[in-house]
Amino acid sequence: MSGETRTLTTRLRIEWSLAIFIAFSVALTGSYFVDAAVVEDVRWQWFFLTGGVLVYEFWFLQRHLSLNDQGDGSLGAANVITLTRGMLYAVVGGFLIVSPVEGVRWIPGLCYGTGAILDFLDGWVARQTNQQSTLGAKLDLSFDLLGALVASLVAVVWGRLPIWYLAISAAGYLFRGGTAYRRYRGVYVAPLPPSRVRRPLAALHMIVITIALIPVLSSDVIVPLATVAMIPSLLVFVRDWLVVSGRITSVNLESGFQTSEEEDSTKREG
């Protein structure tokens, strides 16, 4: 290993360690705030739930650090924004065991909504600063799926979304797991064609979850709207699976949902 490579690797490790320290410090501080805002004694339960999400996120980051192919060897501003999203999603996850009382019921929606906004900002920053990387693309997609899952779970537990809305998150993980399994077996995985509606459908998914978590509309309004909104995404997951598994070869390029590993990098590159 050259001196330059060793320096870059050390820099990444230091930044990774610093990010862990900051994230868990925020989680610990947040646990005291939540505990003070609710009647139940939930400090440590909230901290361990939030911490569990953070552990997965930083394990995923550490596992893919070698894919950071930026010239200066740092995580870069775009990846820092993505990690901030991950921290916000971890905060949301802690509310799985918290009742939606007055002092905290706005927090999950604000955190997830902010994370959704940052989801569009990190890609823009990556392009403007020429910091596109394979690591960034993987973090981006993984945190998208994880954030939607934990936020949907909180919304379901709080009675703001129907349990069947979790089918979108389940479909995302099943799709990735299915394509990974096919590659593991050496079975061909066909690339998905480009589509102009994958990103809008993903944005719609984020908007629905954010609206559900923000206590403005009643669940009587949200549940039917969410049910209708999820149908196009589920249909597209089915269509995309038929494409990557080779069952169909001609598709409508105007429909789709960004889920495949083949399109991981498109988000950061435009």
Average pLDDT of the chain is: 86
In the predicted model, what is the mean pLDDT of residues 210-236?
Answer: 94
Decide: 22 and 86 in contact? Cβ < 8 Å. no
Distance of CA 93 to the CA centre of its chain: 12
Distance of CA 172 to the CA centre of its chain: 11
For residue range 20-49, what is the model confidence (pLDDT) as tens digits? 999 999 999 999 999 888 878 888 999 999
Counting other chains too, the contacts that 235-238 makes at CB distance below 8 Å and 24 or more residues apart are 236/198, 236/201, 237/168, 237/171, 237/172, 237/175
pLDDT greater than 50 at residue 6: no
Q: What is the DSSP string of 50-97?
A: HHHHHHHHHHHHHHTGGG---TT-S-HHHHHHHHHHHHHHHHHHGGGG
Q: Considering the entire predicted model, what is its pTM?
A: 0.85
For residue range 118-175, what is the model confidence (pLDDT) as tens digits? 998 988 898 888 878 888 889 999 999 999 999 999 999 999 999 999 999 999 999 9
DSSP type of residue 190: P
> How many whole angstroms separate alpha carbon 156 and alpha carbon 215?
13
Helices (H), 166-218: 166-184, 198-213
pLDDT greater than 70 at residue 67: yes
Q: How confident is the model at residue 70 (pLDDT cuts 50, 70, 90)?
A: low
Tokens (6 digits) for 208: 């629905």
For residue range 87-130, what is the model confidence (pLDDT) as tens digits? 999 999 999 999 888 889 999 999 999 999 999 898 889 888 88
Return the pLDDT at 71. Answer: 62
Q: CA torsion 210→96→199→117, rounded to 10°?
A: 50
For residue range 187-212, what is the model confidence (pLDDT) as tens digits? 888 888 777 788 899 999 999 999 99
Return the pLDDT at 260. Answer: 38
The percentage of the chain sitting over the pLDDT mark of 70, rounded to a whole number, equals 88
